[in-house]
Chain A
């Protein structure tokens, strides 16, 4: 199975749908998945945000998010987002982990598929 690493550096639907569409497909097929939200993407992982995101003809984003979580996908937010976006740890959705770049790079050292959005 593959190990998929995705970085997200924008908080608009155009940035947020692709990682969860591709990521949920990956975990559904048994791949390991790590999604890392850089500061630019971090606001999308604040509680209540993806519930409001929708797009014509697109799947339900919250269901994809929950699918990723339930099937073992890891979702991280870069710790730099806290100061950069004036956010606190408790602002983020349950299950989101705040990590540093070095930890992320170490975790994806054997990733076989990578994307950036």
Chain B
């Protein structure tokens, strides 16, 4: 199992999700993708994406500056 980090800070919806989607072919079952984002809609969007694509959203936390960190298990 590998862990990969994707930095989408500064990108607007839906670019963070688009970048997650383009990484899918590189991920193997069990791999974890950590995504950093600061666009407002990211927590709801990544939850919706994970539900729809059958991936596991391990968590999505937001710090005091509005920066989101999410981990998705493939």
Alpha-carbon distance A24/B45, docked complex (angstroms): 13
- Which size bracket describes the interface of A in this complex? 10 to 19
A111 on the B face (CB < 8 A) = no
Q: Is the CB of A25 within 8 A of B52?
A: no
Tell me which residues across on chain A come within 8 A of B58, comparing CB atoms.
Answer: none
Which residue of B has the minimal Cβ distance to A29?
Answer: B52
Tell me which residues across on chain B come within 8 A of A70, comparing CB atoms.
Answer: 22
Alpha-carbon distance A25/B21, docked complex (angstroms): 9
The interface on chain B, measured as residues whose beta carbon lies within 8 A of the other chain's beta carbons, has a size of 15
A28 on the B face (CB < 8 A) = yes
Residue in B13, B21, B45, B49 whose beta carbon sits within 8 Å of that of A71 in the complex: B21
- Shortest C-beta distance, A112 to chain B (Å), equals 13
A21 on the B face (CB < 8 A) = yes
Interface 1/0 per residue, A17-41 and B, CB below 8 Å: 0000100110111100000000000
Tell me which residues across on chain A come within 8 A of B22, comparing CB atoms.
Answer: 67, 70-71
Given contacts A70-B22, A71-B21, are A28 and B12 in contact (CB under 8 A)? no
Interface 1/0 per residue, A67-95 and B, CB below 8 Å: 10011000000000000000000000000
Which residue of B has the minimal Cβ distance to A63?
Answer: B15
Measuring CB to CB, which residues of chain B are less than 8 angstroms from any residue of chain A? 11-15, 17-18, 20-22, 45, 48-49, 52-53
11 residue pairs bridging A and B, Cβ less than 8 Å apart: A24-B18, A25-B14, A25-B18, A27-B21, A28-B18, A30-B52, A58-B12, A59-B11, A59-B12, A59-B15, A70-B22
